[in-house]
Amino acid sequence: MKRASVSVLLCWFFLLSGCVHPSFPPVAASLSVVISLDVKAETVTFLNAENGRKIARWNINEPFQGGALSPDGRTLLLYGRELDGVYRYDLATGKPLSEWKTGSGIVSAAPSPDGRTWFLGDSEHHAVRVVSRVGKEIARLSVGHSPMTLLVNRQGTEMYALDFQDGRAFVIDTSRLRVIRSFSVPKMALGGLMREQQGELWIGGHGSGSKVETNIHVYSLRDGRLLRTVAAPVMPVDFVETSRGVFVLSHGSNTIHRFSPSGKRLGSISVGANPFAMEAAFGQLYIASYDSDEIIVVDEATLRPLARWKTGDGPLQLFIREGRT
């Protein structure tokens, strides 16, 4: 009897420690939360979007480098170049969902607006892999070496994959699952914004070699032609467009640049220490400050800082999940 219970216990232990990812504290669906991916600490921090109070911190303990949130805000994906798959978690329960066995090399992920398909940038197969909601691979589209930025248009009909290394953008028709064209962009391009009304694609980046990027490159969505460059020093890497304009985050100079919808520069503020990610919600901008391990909340209208919220070490990416009633 005793022996049986011991072996059951051992089995449990193995199940818990080996095969299955551990469960984490749940995050109620009704709450609006700011989700910070702290890559240095390998944690995910959930903060109440209203007051910045910490709701949960998940210790992933795996070297993930980024993630994506499903359009319904229920599922969080985590990926990393060294991880052998894409980890998925249900926020409402904190439980891991079945892992997508993609193999290593995943460097980006983006859902279609309807949430039915996912696009995964694969730096090992130099491809964008299209997978279904349950992780079944539908297509594999050859793009450049390291598709680190994936941009999907509002209708979900087109997707832009920016290659980080080779300096090329690939346009993918998501219904036909085919690369329809490509055009050259600066090397180490990272982050972008599709402005469909204006027919523009804004692309940021780090700049290659010792030369740092100081400009935003604006391309035509129609034919990929370079329309102009917009100065936004130094190293613009994240973009947000709201009714109050276009906000660009430059991590090299710790600056947010604000532009009018027409692209006129309106102003800038200095924020954070080496910030990499910015999100907008509730009339506020949330900026992840990588070196100071915090989220800085800035008023969208006045660009005045409102609050600083502590995260885990090295917040690299942010999501805002709005609560549902």
Judged by the rule CB under 8 A, the positions of this chain that interact with another protein are: 39, 65, 81, 146, 148, 164-165, 188, 190, 206-212, 234-235, 251-254, 272-274, 276, 289-292, 314, 316
Least Cα distance to 321 among 20, 57, 70 occurs for 70
Measured at the CA of 110, the angle between CA 106 and CA 111, to 5 degrees, comes to: 130
The 3-state DSSP composition of the chain as helix, strand, coil percent (nearest 5) reads 5, 50, 45
Query: Residues 89-95: contacts with CB within 8 Å, 24+ apart?
Result: 89/24, 89/58, 91/26, 91/27, 91/29, 91/321, 92/26, 92/27, 92/28, 92/29, 93/23, 93/26, 94/23, 94/24, 94/25, 94/26, 94/27, 94/56, 94/58, 95/23, 95/24
DSSP assignment, residue 72? T
